[in-house]
Amino acid sequence: MEEFTISDLQKEMQTGELTSRECVNQYIERIQYMDPQVCSVSEINPDALDIANNLDSERSKGIVRGPLHGVPVLVKENIDTADRMQTTAGSLSLIGNIAKDDAYLVGLLRNAGAVILGKTNLSEWANFRSSKSTSGWSSRGGLTRNPYALDRSACGSSSGSGAAVAANFCTAAVGTETDGSIVCPAQTNGIVGIKPTLGRISRSGIIPIAHSQDTAGPMARTVGEAAILLQVMSGSEKKYKNIPETFDNKIGDLSLVLIKSGLAGARLGVSRNYFGFDDRVDKIMEHCIDVIKSLGAEVVDPANVDNESKYAKSELEVLLYEFQADVNNYLAQHPTAPLKTMVEIAEYNKNHKSKMMPYFGQERIEQAIKKGPLTQIKYLRALEKNIRLSRAGIDDVLEKNHLDAIIAPTGGPAWMIDLINGDNYPGGCSSPAAVSGYPHITVPAGYVFGLPVGLSIFSTAWTDWKLVQYAYAFEQATKVRNPPTFLKSVDLNSDEISW
């Protein structure tokens, strides 16, 4: 079933060539055989085969819930599932935390017929434990590696979701992002990632960093598959009245946006201030711009998104404040969580340093503990600054240039794993959309010595489906993606640049 899409699986199941149980079993066997070298899946759902059996029974009676009926999906290990799987954010300190309720998005997936196949490894505490962390490492799950070159980073924090999708351990997966944690591992692992508008997907039942930026989002090998997950997971509970209602913002028929002519008449701006960190990436981006023009879009170049440097410090300030408050709130709502406060977590890490902190520390946790309540003026001013400047940075350039969206390189090729010095990010454009709460999609664009590079498209609030439309048109015109071959290291005899 390598590279099978959701549509491929549905056709096989509709004709009786494949059952959901057989599909789930094949993915489990592939994970057991191949994932030890990637380390992307932290736990397989012990009930997955039984769930698949029930969905096969429904299909035999003519009941098909939708395109996800019987389809295996992995979810990041900071997302609650009301079953026998644990939710620990990758930390041994939360072993034993079994949720009594599904995260709201998980309930939507189950109702749509998806089989929750298992949980994916992540950068511990969603990469917000240390300023010198190594993406993809957690004390519970170990180190996730990039399936394109196993000595390279899978990025993070949704490292396992990105690597598992790329490696064909599932049809699609769910990641989470505060700033870059979906789009970076998506582009680094050569897949599609969607960081939706804040509030489109419920954040309830997810171990948090910060409610003002956290969101879940789909990760898949194609735009179409990611769109199916986005459609199913869209919607928030009524209790989140501080977030605009999202139910009226759904697309009923995906064929309205999944069209090859989707870029015709669009007006896109090029944010050149995110270029320049790698000449090879720049060349791939120039090719992308040519493709976009050939598909009927008008390109404004340059159309730079400014202000990011003005809110970098205030973004960190807000994240630290909300990290302590939101984690403490999550733990208080989970009776099986063995620890109840961030202070207890920090103490546990110190007392079990050889297991919890063998490579890097917990500076972010210690900084967060020192912060006060969310009523403090310092926090409120930093939050206001974040929202005002980040949204103005995007909205102003859109309005000034009459743009529909903005494009930029998502990042550079995966860097070497370095447990001593931590990550070495080459560059990226995640922060404006992350801090503003605006949508951002990355789609495969090319390769540097066989390592994937992605094209980012982002815009203002609630333009998620427009971005899906643009990304789909680009994807169908280029069809860049090549599956990984699990090389031990980069093949320097391969093409330096390809698309």
pLDDT (0 to 100) of residue 239: 54
Rounded-to-integer distance, Cα 233 and Cα 215, Å: 11
Rounded-to-integer distance, Cα 227 and Cα 3, Å: 17
Question: Where residue 458 sits, what CATH number does that domain have?
Answer: 3.90.1300.10
235 is a domain residue? yes
Percent residues over pLDDT 90 in the chain? 96
318 is a domain residue? yes
The residue to which tokens 């879009």 are assigned: 297
Domain tally for the chain?
A: 1
Tokens, residue 172:
């699609």
Expressed as residue numbers, the domain containing 52 is 6-498
Q: What is the mean pLDDT of residues 24-31?
A: 98
Q: What is the pLDDT of residues 135-164, one digit of tens each?
A: 999 999 999 999 999 999 999 999 999 999
| This model's pTM is above 0.85 | yes
491 is a domain residue? yes
**Mean pLDDT, the chain, integer:** 96
pLDDT (0 to 100) of residue 141: 98
Find the DSSP H helices in 333-410.
342-351, 353-356, 363-369, 377-401
- The CA-CA-CA angle for residues 468, 473, 476, to 5°, reads 120
337 is a domain residue? yes
Q: What is the pLDDT of residues 152-203, one digit of tens each?
A: 999 999 999 999 999 999 999 999 999 999 999 999 999 999 999 999 999 9
Catalytic center residues: 76, 157, 181
Contacts of 337 (CB under 8 A, 6+ apart): 94, 96, 97, 331
1 is a domain residue? no
